Amino acid sequence: MALLPILCFPDPRLHQVARPVTQFDARLRQLVGDMLETMYDAHGVGLAATQVNVHEQVIVIDASEQRDQPLVLINPQQVWQSESRRVNEEGCLSVPGIYDGVMRHDAVHVQAQDAEGRTHRVEADGLLAICIQHEMDHLLGKVFVEYLSPLKRNRIKTKMLKAQREAGR
Ligand code: NI
């Protein structure tokens, strides 16, 4: 397995829309394994394939405290969402160091496939529900900062570009 480089906002590749997975083969299992390793290494709660520049509908999540409950969502479809919503503070491995409030449904149910192509259903609330909504946005090419005001978003963009320039020196 290998650590994969994570794209950072405002990289335009983060806005590509992911296509469905059709081949449940060794390459996919390798991708899922690498994504899990990359997520754990970065201390993230979730990672979408879009963030590692693979534009396919693959998400890995671990919202457990012990970091021992990996969840793989391939071709996820949201089949139910609670009417109740609230603002939660979110961060993202593609926008390091930035945390801000985003309105999300309190609970969601999703149907997805695993790396072997088996369909499963996840009924999520709490952190897991927030994370699933956040990662499914990535597959649509949407980064959480797009929910913030244009002023805030531009400030974040400037800060990220400056940090990336300094890291490149
Ligand atoms: Ni993210």
State in Å: Cα 16 to ligand 1 middle. Answer: 14
Whether 83 sits among the annotated catalytic residues: the reply is: no
Which of 44, 35, 115, 110 minimizes the C-alpha distance to 74? 115
The CA 103 to ligand 1 mean position distance, Å, reads 15
- Ligand 1 centroid from CA 168, angstroms: 22
Rounded to whole angstroms, the Cα distance separating 148 from 169 reads: 30
CA torsion 121-90-3-118 (nearest 10°) is 10
The span from the first CA to the last CA of the chain, in angstroms, equals: 29
Structure tokens at 167: 């890291």
CA angle 91, 116, 121 (to 5 degrees): 60
Q: Given the residues 89, 90, 116, 135, select the one marked as catalytic.
A: 135
Neighbours of ion ligand 1 (CB under 5 A): 92
Ligand 1 center to 124 CA (angstroms) = 18
Q: Which residues contact 91 (CB under 8 A, 6 or more apart)?
A: 98, 99
Determine the 3-state secondary structure of 21 from DSSP: coil
Q: Please report, in tens digits, the pLDDT of each residue of the chain (169 residues total).
A: 799 999 999 999 999 999 999 999 999 999 999 999 999 999 999 999 999 999 999 999 999 999 999 999 999 999 999 999 999 999 999 999 999 999 999 999 999 999 999 999 999 999 999 999 999 999 999 999 999 999 999 999 999 999 999 988 6
Which residue from 44, 45, 63, 39 is spatially nearest to 128, judged by alpha carbons? 63
Its pTM stands at: 0.97
